Structures are given as structure tokens and as C-alpha cells.
Amino acid sequence: MPRRLLVLVLLALGAAPQAAAAATITTDRACYRPGATATATFSGFTAGPDPFDLRVNDDVAAEVRVDGAGAGTATFRVPRGAPPQPVTVRVQDSLAILAETTVRVSVPVVEMSPTRAKPTTRVTYLATGFDTSGPVYLHVVRGGRALRTVRLGTAERACGEVVARIPQIPLRGRIAKGAYRLQFDASAAYRAGRPGAVVRTRVVR
């Protein structure tokens, strides 16, 4: 190739615009309780005068405005449908889908096996559906006061399972008669009425 032609080709390649980064959308969690507030983060978009639509299962949930770098955030409400279910979250410009992701909606559930046992009998607790990964705790409460908190285990992912084999009411020493509140949640500190907690009542006679 002649030198002059080669120089022109190189100049043309250098002047060619670079391909835009692929638009992406991510959420602050992979799993949510029904009706929870979620945050979506955007990157790689092309800024323009008009906002984009943030759609959750095809319903417009918010407007997306991005900065000059093509990034931004928006909040949306997670649907209250019957969980567990996948939820599609996408950004659209008119009818064109620019970016899409999927999250899960679930509710906390705690199962005990066997379903009937003495307070001191060891049972298997299966806890699942908590909307964050990490430890799951059992708080034993009587008269509004937490008597003991037991860490059941750690969920490796949001809405993951935790299995623990412990006494049904894990208190040290003799268990007095009366009503006990067993609260399962993802916090090491007990608080009555914590959102997302599972509560069971056991009466010792």
C-alpha cells in the first residue's frame, strides 16, 4: 500500500467514533419483600432532553434521567403480587428496551420439623425468604423482653435458606410456664414489629 494511502487510512480509523458502552441497570438487592422500595442504578446511557421510562413488569414505575456521563439512579416500589416470583425491571425509550434485569420477590417463611414438640426438644428450623443475605436470628421474648438471641446460620444469598437444629425454645435452664414470642429476623438486636420478621407464639403449660 502506498505510504500516502496508508496515512489516510490510519487517520480515518483514528477519527472514527468509539462505540458507546452498553447500557446497564442494576438494583441494590437481588431479592425484596412485596411492596419494598428498591433503588436502580444506571450506566452507559446516552443523555438526552427527555427522560426514559423505568418499567417494572411492563408498568411505568419511575422516570430515569441520566447525567452527562450516562449514569443515574431511581427508586421504585416492588410489586405486591403473590411471591415468590421473578420481577422484570427495564429501561425503555418509547418501545425500545435499552437495559433489563430481573429481581425476586419473596416473603420470609420459617418452618419447624417436627411441627409439634416439647419446649426443650431439639427441632429443625428452616428459614427462607429473608430479603438480604447474611445471618438469620431467633429472638426468644417474654413479656416484651428479649431473653435470648440465637444465631441460626447465614444465608449465602438474598432469599436463601438457613437450617438449624436447636431446642424449640432455646433458653438455658428450666423454662417457666407462660407465653413466649419467637421472632425470626435478620438483625442481631431485637425490636418488636420489625418489618420482614416472622413471629411464632409458643405457650408452655
Is 128 in the same domain as 58?
A: no
Is 33 in the same domain as 81?
A: yes
170 confidence band (pLDDT: 50, 70, 90) = very high
Mean per-residue pLDDT of the chain: 87
Predicted TM-score (pTM) above 0.85: no
Is residue 173 situated within a structural domain? Answer: yes
Q: Are 201 and 180 in contact (CB under 8 A)?
A: yes
Is 87 in the same domain as 116?
A: no
Q: What is the spatial distance between Cα 201 and Cα 31, in angstroms, rounded to a whole number? A: 27
Is 101 in the same domain as 113?
A: no
Is 188 in the same domain as 127?
A: yes
- Please measure the distance between the N-terminal and C-terminal CA atoms of the chain and give it in whole angstroms: 97
Tell me the residue range of the domain where 124 lies: 109-204
Average pLDDT over residues 194-203: 94
Which CATH number fits the domain that encloses residue 76? 2.60.40.1930
Is 100 in the same domain as 118?
A: no
